[in-house]
Amino acid sequence: MTRTSIITDLIRKNGYTTYLEIGVATGENIRGVATVPGLHIVGVDPAPLCEFVTDPVDSDTFFASNTETFDLVFIDGCHLEAQVDKDIAHALSVLNDGGTIVMHDCNPAIYEHATEDWLLAEWNGTVWKSATKLRCTDASVTLRVVDTDYGCGILTRGRSRLYTGADVDTCLTWDYFDAHRRDILDLIAPEEFTRLYL
C-alpha cells in the first residue's frame, strides 16, 4: 500500500471528483492519481518538474488567491512543521463536506529522517510534529496514520479522542514521540485502513 493507492482508493470509494496536490515534484504520485477517470486535478509546486503542475507557486501564494474547494487534498510540499501547519489549516478551509486530507511523511523511521535539516538521502522533515499537535490539541478533527510509505495521515473533520499521555511539548520531543508513536499517531495497519475507510 502506497500513498498513491490510498488516495485513489479514497477517491473511488467516496466518489470524489476534485483533487488538490500540494508538492507535486516529479509527478510520481499525481501521475497515478490522474488515472482516475473524470477527476479535476490541481497541482501546486513552485518548482515544476512535470506537466501536472497547474499552479507553479508556493502553497501560501496558491491559497491566497484560490477560490476552489476540493474533495481530497494531499499535503506533500515543504516538510517543515511551520509550513505543514499552515498547509493543514488552508486545506481544511477548502475541504468539501465529507472530504479527506492525506498527509505524507508522518511516521519517520529514525531521528535522522525527522529533523529540519536534510541529513540523509531519505528525509521526512518535521511533518510528524504537525501530526502530533493535531492528535494532542485538536478534537475537531480525526487523524489516523497508516503505517506504510513513511506514514500516510488520514485527516477528516469530526470529533476525536485526543492523545493525553503527556503534554504536547513532551510529545514533540523525539525520544518521547519515538517511544509512543503508535498511540500518538493512532497508527493503523494497511489492513485496518481498508476496514475503516473502504
Comparing CA positions, the residue from 16, 37, 100, 110 lying closest to residue 128 is 110
Residue count (the chain): 198
| Number of domains present in the structure of the chain | 1
**Cα 43 to Cα 128: distance, rounded to the nearest angstrom:** 23
pLDDT digits (tens, 9 = 90+) for 23-54: 999 999 999 999 999 999 999 999 999 999 99
Comparing CA positions, the residue from 11, 6, 27 lying closest to residue 149 is 6
In this prediction the pTM is 0.97
Which CATH number belongs to the domain containing residue 47 in this structure?
A: 3.40.50.150
How do the pLDDT tens digits run along the chain, 198 residues long?
A: 999 999 999 999 999 999 999 999 999 999 999 999 999 999 999 999 999 999 999 999 999 999 999 999 999 999 999 999 999 999 999 999 999 999 999 999 999 999 998 888 789 999 999 999 999 999 999 999 999 999 999 999 998 899 999 999 999 999 999 999 999 999 999 999 999 999
Give me the domain span that covers residue 188. Answer: 3-197
**If you write DSSP's letter for every residue of 28-53 in order, what string do you get?**
HHHHHHTTSTT-EEEEE-SS--STT-
Per DSSP, 93 falls in state H
